[in-house]
Structure 1
Amino acid sequence: MNLTDTFRTRVVLLHSNDIHSRLEHAAKIASFIAEERRTYGSDLVLAVDCGDHMDRMRVETEGSDGIVNVELLNDAGYEVITLGNNEGLTYSFQTIAEAYVNRANFAVVCANMHDSATGEQPEWMLPSTIIDKNGLRIGIIGVTAAFSEFYSLLGWQVTDPFEAVQAQAAQLRDYVDVLVVMSHLGLSSDRLMAEKLEGIDLILGAHTHHLLEEPIVIGSTTICAAGKFGEYIGRVEIGIDPISASPVFRAVCVHTAAMAEHPGAAAIIGSYHEAGQRRLSRIIARLAAPLPARAERESPLGNLLAAGLRRWTDAEIGIVNTGQLLGGLAQGDVTAGELHALCPSPINPCLMTITGNDIKTALEQALLPEFIHKPIKGYGFRGEVLGTLAVDGLSVTYDATRPPMSRLIAVYVNGDPLEDERLYTLGTIDMFSFKAGYESLANAVQLKFYLPEFIRDVIAAQLQSASALIECRQLRWHNESI
């Protein structure tokens, strides 16, 4: 309906999503929430977060196992949150529970996550909740993307989000004035939910980082979303139509760049930064010689990681893109903080069964500048460019002067020629299974994922092996044109 000056604001709903531990932006959002409460009163303002507030790329989050994010949400006065894949998939079941239990001052709502051991939700999580604001009963359902194969490795059973929303909506609809879904599913799923499911008034979206500066209206459902990284905060004024008694919405996204950081939030960030640095200062290894890393060509640290993935997964071959490494390691002590800084991606080891032909395609692409220098975002990747491929268990001879995709002369797997049609076991990273970067590696006929280990854990294990530190300096790629 057309909103006019007669629109009466009953509640101001503030929503954030996909902050990914951009903690300074979270501090700015806290200032905005505080100002809205000063203007309208706490009884009229409701703040919620739609997931992926945590991201282990930040020292504060890594060093506190996500507790800094919980403290920032508490300090800003959030009342309801849901979990994104960065909360649910980058921590063990027990670690994520410890971040919220007896610490969160807000409701954690996610209808499609259950403890695999019991089939029930853990005590610290609810499928939905009802918040009373200014006499308006607001039902809130949370759902997250159903990466079932990954979640099962961490002790979670993740069910169909649409079925979970439909079940909760049926229970809540008669008892609330406004029914809201906090969706960490992505825009295409949000649209489909609005089209297929009845009784939903408002969907607050996340996961695909979409910014809706104007809401999408499908039938009687309004969809809003506030982008990524806390660059915006969503603001929805909720009113009730006096004739139909249905909720009406006036929604915008507010840019946070010019906002000041909330002093309380800034103090929390500073405190956890110092604590995180202390925790990550533990020494992992002591190197007798440096381990350089280069994105555009073979280097020892890339080889060490490829060998580690092969060893971790007990595979015939190891392959990883060199862009995963943001720097090398100097001679001397290597700390956990250094490994975190050079390899911040929450990417997991993966065992693939894949044909030699698909491996060969990726090796050909790894010789091309358009792949080596390709910018890449998402899929857990926290680097800048894709990089070439670091390998282990392979010896690759090529001629750089030949035409693209015809540069390989010979490829050997542990001394035997690579066979196009043969299936090989490949230790690599989960990112490739999502058809990201070297897309032929997504053609694997079988996959096994390793969670919650990250590839920096693989590097840490390799640094303990004297033989691995020697072998990583041996060349795998041989250019016949030189």
Structure 2
Amino acid sequence: MRDNFESLEKKVVLMHSNDIHSRLENAARIASIIAEERRTWGADRVLAVDCGDHMDRMRQETEGSEGLVNVRLLQEAGYEAVTLGNNEGLTYTPEVLASLYGNVAEFGVICANMALSESGECPDWMSPSRVLRKNGLRIGLIGATANFCEFYELLGWKTTDPLEAIRVQAERLKDESDVIIVMSHLGIALDRTIAEEIPGIHLIVGGHTHHLLEEPLLVNGAMICAAGKFGDYVGRVEITWDEDASRPVLRGSCVPTGAFSGKEEAEACISSYRESSRLKLGRVAAVLKEPLPSNAAKENPLANLLAAGLRRWTNAEIGLVNAGQLLGGLAKGDVTAGELHAICPSPINPCRMSIRGSKLRTALEQSLMDSYIHKPIKGFGFRGEVLGTLAIDGMTVTYDMDRPDLDRIMQIVVNGEAFDDDRLYAVGSIDMFSFKVGYESLAEAESFQFYLPEFIRDVIERELDHSESLMSCRENRWHRR
């Protein structure tokens, strides 16, 4: 395979990663693989790109460095272009991103469907597309990210339809490029649509939906590649130029990373940020006079405290959250920022919903069922294991477990008043439910208001300083008859 590759005058190896989610050890292994490709073919014949969600704030080094460890690892591996995933764009403010990518990064950030709300333009550190020259080939890169426009708007971004943005850039690049590549953080379905509907695209390297394509897809003459998730694989595409046909020839594959050692310099980078992050997250956030236990399967003080915090944060009548958001309890004494991060690593934001009582009742009934309490949940910002029961505040529920599923609740009282199935209630909760995850009836709310950039661990930290909440969270809201 390499003999044929070497026999052609114009050839480039494209290495692509996606959805590493701060699995930093795998990022170090990928750095080794990219370095080996450069030793084999030469720097001018290798191009490395990342398709977003390299960062994940569940990782201590990422949280403690505000993403700087990820940028340093991308630089150490010699990436030349990245696009933003939702874990970069939605978990950090534009100011933090400007500090990372404008002041530190040595690679290009490419995203065609994002602009600052105030100016309507890309910031200085971002461009919608870019042409790089590698070994005589003009390689046009277009980036695009998932259009979570309602969330981005709260952070000062304007995001647009990615397909239209890609179409505009592809038309612009067609006379400037020999090969046009889309770096997509849109998911496999939209990657197929790009190939089907937008002319001039030769290659789509994608992510977001964590799909692994060990064999590339060929759709309407375009190749679609993806390397799964967490850096378990890295994508590799050989790009050669057919002079007779005057077009690129592509050959794609995925390389498992597990057998490789991490690049020494990348490993040293991780160790350095591990120590500095440990020191930063050692900040004492609160001092507890009594422990706050947690249990995903039953009512507990810490989950009640979070429900109360969400209610207060959103100025709602009711607070509601799944207990599975919490991965452990808090001991008596000093509580550090690192402990809060450890028990609640999810990048999930508070939200306020206006929801009809009947939809709320359905979720409450489901939270008494083992099939919901122990239901595994993946993605949508959730970094726990199981959904867990519902913790509530501002209401009490009386139930009878001897009655059949979905008919166990005998009485609900909201702030001293009888519950009304037909009434709209203001509920302080979490954005995850708006995606129809877990307790799906909660996604049928009449409206949602989201709070960014705060995470629910910020809500917990504030409540730990609220003496009334610390006392009341130990009172049962669920009463079994």
TM-score class normalised by the smaller sequence: over 0.9
Structure 1 residue 243 displacement after superposition: 2.3
For 2:118, the equivalent position in structure 1 comes to 117
CA separation of 1:43/1:463 partners in 2, compared to 1, >3 Å: closer, same or farther? same
Matches within 5 A, 1:206-285: 206-285=207-286
For 1:447, the equivalent position in structure 2 comes to 448
CA–CA distance in structure 1, aligned partners of residues 104 and 41 of structure 2: 27
CA–CA distance in structure 1, aligned partners of residues 428 and 405 of structure 2: 26
For 2:479, the equivalent position in structure 1 comes to 478
For 1:422, the equivalent position in structure 2 comes to 423
For 1:298, the equivalent position in structure 2 comes to 299
Secondary structure of 2:126 counterpart: coil
Matches within 5 A, 1:358-397: 358-397=359-398
* Letter of the structure 2 residue corresponding to residue 224 of structure 1: C
For 2:352, the equivalent position in structure 1 comes to 351
Q: Which moved more, 1:60-69 or 1:242-251?
A: 242-251
CA–CA distance in structure 2, aligned partners of residues 132 and 214 of structure 1: 27
Structure 1 residue 4 displacement after superposition: 11
Secondary structure of 1:174 counterpart: coil
CA–CA distance in structure 1, aligned partners of residues 194 and 3 of structure 2: 28
> What do the CA deviations read for 1:207-233 (whole angstroms, capped 9, x no partner)?
000000111111121100000000000
* Letter of the structure 1 residue corresponding to residue 31 of structure 2: A
Matches within 5 A, 1:8-407: 8=8, 10-407=11-408
Structure 1 residue 239 displacement after superposition: 1.1
* Letter of the structure 2 residue corresponding to residue 404 of structure 1: D
CA–CA distance in structure 1, aligned partners of residues 407 and 123 of structure 2: 55
Structure 1 residue 142 displacement after superposition: 0.3
CA–CA distance in structure 2, aligned partners of residues 334 and 79 of structure 1: 41
Structure 1 residue 99 displacement after superposition: 1.2
CA–CA distance in structure 2, aligned partners of residues 117 and 89 of structure 1: 17
* Letter of the structure 2 residue corresponding to residue 338 of structure 1: E
CA–CA distance in structure 2, aligned partners of residues 94 and 175 of structure 1: 33
> What do the CA deviations read for 1:428-460 (whole angstroms, capped 9, x no partner)?
000000000000000011110000000000000
* Letter of the structure 2 residue corresponding to residue 47 of structure 1: A
> What do the CA deviations read for 1:106-164 (whole angstroms, capped 9, x no partner)?
00001111011111110000111111111011000000011000000000011111111
CA–CA distance in structure 2, aligned partners of residues 163 and 5 of structure 1: 38
CA–CA distance in structure 2, aligned partners of residues 429 and 97 of structure 1: 27
* Letter of the structure 1 residue corresponding to residue 392 of structure 2: V
* Letter of the structure 1 residue corresponding to residue 431 of structure 2: D
Secondary structure of 2:236 counterpart: strand
CA–CA distance in structure 1, aligned partners of residues 305 and 393 of structure 2: 8
Secondary structure of 2:174 counterpart: helix
CA–CA distance in structure 2, aligned partners of residues 212 and 203 of structure 1: 12
* Letter of the structure 2 residue corresponding to residue 55 of structure 1: D
CA–CA distance in structure 1, aligned partners of residues 62 and 98 of structure 2: 15
Q: How many residues are paired up?
A: 478
CA–CA distance in structure 1, aligned partners of residues 115 and 344 of structure 2: 31
CA–CA distance in structure 2, aligned partners of residues 468 and 320 of structure 1: 16
Secondary structure of 1:34 counterpart: helix
Structure 1 residue 102 displacement after superposition: 2.2
Secondary structure of 2:250 counterpart: strand
Secondary structure of 1:97 counterpart: helix
Say what the alpha-carbon RMSD is for the aligned residues. Answer: 1.1
Secondary structure of 1:247 counterpart: strand
Secondary structure of 2:180 counterpart: strand
Matched, 1:460 2:455: no
* Letter of the structure 1 residue corresponding to residue 177 of structure 2: V
For 1:469, the equivalent position in structure 2 comes to 470
CA–CA distance in structure 1, aligned partners of residues 374 and 289 of structure 2: 31
* Letter of the structure 2 residue corresponding to residue 308 of structure 1: G
CA–CA distance in structure 2, aligned partners of residues 289 and 370 of structure 1: 32
CA–CA distance in structure 1, aligned partners of residues 352 and 248 of structure 2: 50
Structure 1 residue 241 displacement after superposition: 2.2
> What do the CA deviations read for 1:341-394 (whole angstroms, capped 9, x no partner)?
000000000000000001100000000001000111000000000000000011
> What do the CA deviations read for 1:401-440 (whole angstroms, capped 9, x no partner)?
1111111010111111111110000000000000000000
Structure 1 residue 100 displacement after superposition: 1.3
Structure 1 residue 396 displacement after superposition: 0.4
Structure 1 residue 293 displacement after superposition: 0.3
Structure 1 residue 5 displacement after superposition: 5.0
* Letter of the structure 1 residue corresponding to residue 93 of structure 2: S
Gaps of 5+ in 1: none
CA–CA distance in structure 2, aligned partners of residues 258 and 401 of structure 1: 54
- 4+ runs deviating over 6 angstroms: none
> What do the CA deviations read for 1:6-63 (whole angstroms, capped 9, x no partner)?
8847000000000000000000000000001111111110000000000000111000
* Letter of the structure 1 residue corresponding to residue 295 of structure 2: R
* Letter of the structure 2 residue corresponding to residue 60 of structure 1: E
* Letter of the structure 1 residue corresponding to residue 408 of structure 2: R
CA–CA distance in structure 1, aligned partners of residues 173 and 369 of structure 2: 56
Gaps of 5+ in 2: none
* Letter of the structure 2 residue corresponding to residue 344 of structure 1: P
CA–CA distance in structure 2, aligned partners of residues 122 and 209 of structure 1: 28
CA–CA distance in structure 2, aligned partners of residues 221 and 112 of structure 1: 21
* Letter of the structure 1 residue corresponding to residue 240 of structure 2: G
